[in-house]
Amino acid sequence: MSDPAAAAAGIAAGALNTLDAVIIGVTLLASLTVGLAMGRRGTSSLSNYLVAGRKLPWWLAGTSIVATSFAADTPLAIARIVRTRGLSGNWYWWSGAIAFAACMFFFAPLWQRSRLLTDAELLELRYAGRPAATLRGLQGSYRAIIANGVTMGWVLLGMRKIADAVFGWPPTWTIVALVILALIYTWSAGLWGVVVTDLLQFTLAMIGSVALAAIVLHDLGGPAALAAKATAAADGPGLAGSERLLSWLPSGDVALATFGFYVLVQWWGGAEGGGFLVQRLFATRDERHAALALLWFTVAHFVLRTWPWLIVGIASVVVLPQLADPELAYPIMMVRYLPHGLLGLMVASLLAAFLSTVSTHLNWGASYLVNDLWRRFFRPDATDEAAISWARMSVIAMAALAGAVAWQMDSILSAWFYLAELGAGAALIGLSRWLWWRINAWGEVAALITSLLAANLLRLVPWLEGDNAYPIRFGIVLALGTAAGLVTSLSTRPTPDATLDAFYKRVRPWGWWRPVAQRNPDVQVPEVGRKAVVGWLLTVISIYAALFGVGEILLGQPLIGTAGCALAVLTGGLLWRVLRRYDFGVA
């Protein structure tokens, strides 16, 4: 095979042939057609535009979450993690399975019962008066402008890297054209257009990534040969090292401490859910559909999608031992291995993944700008027609913001870390709003402001610079924000009884609500006890057993892998029995 740089240059010179171009064009046209076909349904009301009329079945909502969480940047960042930190470096995002399983049993039904349009809107259901309005405006601004801007920024950065370094397309105009395409059907059909095209785009993305992994695995001699060759090559400069590359668990005191941080601390903030994930939960039919959507997403995210990316990342250590930007390993492997037709399909799948994520974040960001800022503070009497018009203009503003942010970034993984740090200090206080009646709005305001300030100031400290200091920064921000939130909540007035009673009757939360429960003895709160904990643990065990079982098989250890898959089937069967009898509180 040719040199990787030469292969990339070949694509830049126009090596995508007519077949590839036709496949790419048909894919983009199909996404546009499907999205536009939902136009009348998606714009009949603001609820249809932002939360699909609350009619999504679990499988469509879950698939949409999966598709959105996989953009063109994702396999690039995963390849970098594998090359520089080994398999164990993926615990940064593997730990999220614990959080999503917790959200499924403990919080997804609560979100669904709130019957809102955005998670920021919940704040004025849970709290009251000026503190609640201040918090809602602050949260809506943070999520729409900062969090959404950073997220779309790294998504555009991934696409820019692919377009510039691999395909030779002008990066600026490539991104502009793709964003315009996403704008068209997001503008026209809202969330209905987004979720239906997500289904098509997820299918294409899976076909492309599985095809590339299969070809690479075959070319390198199969699972055992790949593992042996990658281990031998992993001691090169800039690579993880032979002892770390294929190890599930890290070695060394610092690495073990980081692992402990990932599985014991980092996932807390994700247990509540939030953002576009909660938008999909709002859009489901009832509490059971919301929980099952999360289950399907967790299985697809951690088991189905993981290994096609990891196999290519591991193989790149053998094929591309020296690479200045490790995030380019994945697209260069595409160029090197895929024949025409399949290459076009793979490019189309990455474009589909990119469009899926961008369209969701455009719609999600607009939901905050319209529902939690414009309509809440400026035009509370606005009609749905006027609100949809403002939502469409907000979509354009979100696209422009994302482009500006993308040009300031150079690393996808670093951007992941930065966003996690920004919200770390508000995570536990936000989680506690469901569990303890005494948390109030000023406490959340204090936690969020402390978190934003601390996350940025800590990056100016010399010994806390760089990605390796991420767990330390996160821990400090978490501690400072939590302390600020607790102290502020306990030193200011509690939320008025009438507001707490209304929230309790509508959402029926579990936890420390005794004073409220005593005032409302007629409210039946669904039991959250032993069955929920057992279901959570079974979900976590089943997901990790399947993840590692499939991995061992693909890395040449069929006996261990089969045992892992058997454990996944066993615990999955037990989980299904729990789910059949579990009361999610469906009205």
Span 218-272, pLDDT tens digits: 999 999 999 999 999 999 888 988 888 999 887 766 678 888 888 888 888 777 8
Q: Which of 107-121, 270-284, 331-345, 462-476 has the lowest mean pLDDT?
A: 270-284
CA distances to 80, 104, 460, 473, 565 from 468, rounded to whole Å, are 14, 31, 15, 10, 33
Cβ atoms of residues 72 and 300 within 8 Å:
no
Number of H helices, E strands in the chain: 30, 0
User: What share of residues in the chain are helix, strand, coil (percent, to 5)?
Assistant: 80, 0, 20
**Average pLDDT value for residue range 343-349:** 83
For 45, the token pair is: 């009301």
What are the residues whose beta carbons fall under 8 Å from the beta carbon of 253, sequence distance 6 or more? none
C-alpha 363/C-alpha 197 separation (Å) is: 13
The percentage of residues in the chain with a pLDDT greater than 90, rounded to a whole number, is: 40
To 10 degrees, the CA torsion angle through 459, 460, 464, 468?
Answer: 50
- Ordered DSSP codes for 466-533: SGGGHHHHHHHHHHHHHHHHHHHHHHSPPPPHHHHHHHHHHH---SB-HHHHHH-TT--PPP-SHHHH
C-alpha 315/C-alpha 261 separation (Å) is: 29
Cβ atoms of residues 161 and 331 within 8 Å:
yes
What's the N-to-C CA distance of the chain in angstroms? Answer: 61
For 483, the token pair is: 């302390």
Question: Nearest 5°: phi and psi at 394?
Answer: -65, -35
The percentage of residues in the chain with a pLDDT greater than 70, rounded to a whole number, is: 90
**Average pLDDT value for residue range 411-432:** 90
CA distances to 36, 358, 546 from 184, rounded to whole Å, are 8, 12, 39
Burial-class residue 126 by CB neighbours within 10 Å (0-12, 13-18, 19+).
buried
Residue 182, pLDDT score? 66
Residue 11 has pLDDT above 50, yes or no: no
CA angle 306–63–308, rounded 5-degree value: 20
Q: Which of 350-354, 550-554, 571-575, 576-580 has the lowest mean pLDDT?
A: 350-354
- pLDDT band at residue 166 using 50, 70 and 90 as cut-offs: low
Closest CA to 315 of 225, 238, 243: 225
C-alpha 426/C-alpha 354 separation (Å) is: 29
Closest CA to 14 of 340, 348, 355, 312: 340
Q: Which of 184-198, 441-455, 461-475, 553-567 has the lowest mean pLDDT?
A: 184-198
Closest CA to 31 of 357, 284, 340, 391: 357
Residue 13, pLDDT score? 44
- Single-letter amino acid code for the residue at 364: W
- pLDDT band at residue 558 using 50, 70 and 90 as cut-offs: very high
Element spanning 575, H or E: helix 558-581
pLDDT digits (tens, 9 = 90+) for 466-497: 888 999 999 999 999 999 999 999 999 999 99
More confident residue, 7 or 150: 150
Total count of residues recorded for the chain = 587
CA distances to 110, 322, 395 from 199, rounded to whole Å, are 26, 37, 21
pLDDT digits (tens, 9 = 90+) for 371-388: 888 888 888 887 877 877
**Average pLDDT value for residue range 165-171:** 67
Q: Which of 205-209, 262-266, 518-522, 580-584 has the lowest mean pLDDT?
A: 580-584
Domains in the chain (CATH in brackets) are 4-410 (1.20.1730.10)
C-alpha 357/C-alpha 70 separation (Å) is: 7
**Average pLDDT value for residue range 538-555:** 96
**Average pLDDT value for residue range 390-411:** 77
CA 233 vs. chain centroid, Å, equals: 32
CA distances to 39, 42, 113, 182, 185 from 188, rounded to whole Å, are 5, 8, 28, 10, 5
- pLDDT band at residue 2 using 50, 70 and 90 as cut-offs: very low
More confident residue, 390 or 99: 99
Residue 7, pLDDT score? 46
To 10 degrees, the CA torsion angle through 475, 476, 482, 487?
Answer: 150
Residue 324, pLDDT score? 85
What are the residues whose beta carbons fall under 8 Å from the beta carbon of 109, sequence distance 6 or more? 287, 290, 291, 526, 584, 585
Closest CA to 332 of 348, 312, 362: 312
Residue 545 has pLDDT above 50, yes or no: yes
User: Considering the entire predicted model, what is its pTM?
Assistant: 0.85
Average pLDDT over the chain reads: 85
Residue 452, pLDDT score? 96
C-alpha 344/C-alpha 332 separation (Å) is: 14
C-alpha 539/C-alpha 295 separation (Å) is: 8
- pLDDT band at residue 287 using 50, 70 and 90 as cut-offs: confident
Residue 3 has pLDDT above 60, yes or no: no
**Average pLDDT value for residue range 170-192:** 67
Mean pLDDT highest for which of 254-263, 322-331, 357-366, 569-578? 569-578
- pLDDT band at residue 297 using 50, 70 and 90 as cut-offs: very high
Residue 318 has pLDDT above 90, yes or no: yes
CA distances to 7, 71, 260, 449, 507 from 426, rounded to whole Å, are 47, 26, 21, 8, 22
pLDDT digits (tens, 9 = 90+) for 22-73: 988 888 787 777 766 765 554 556 666 666 677 888 898 889 888 878 777 8
For 467, the token pair is: 């990605």
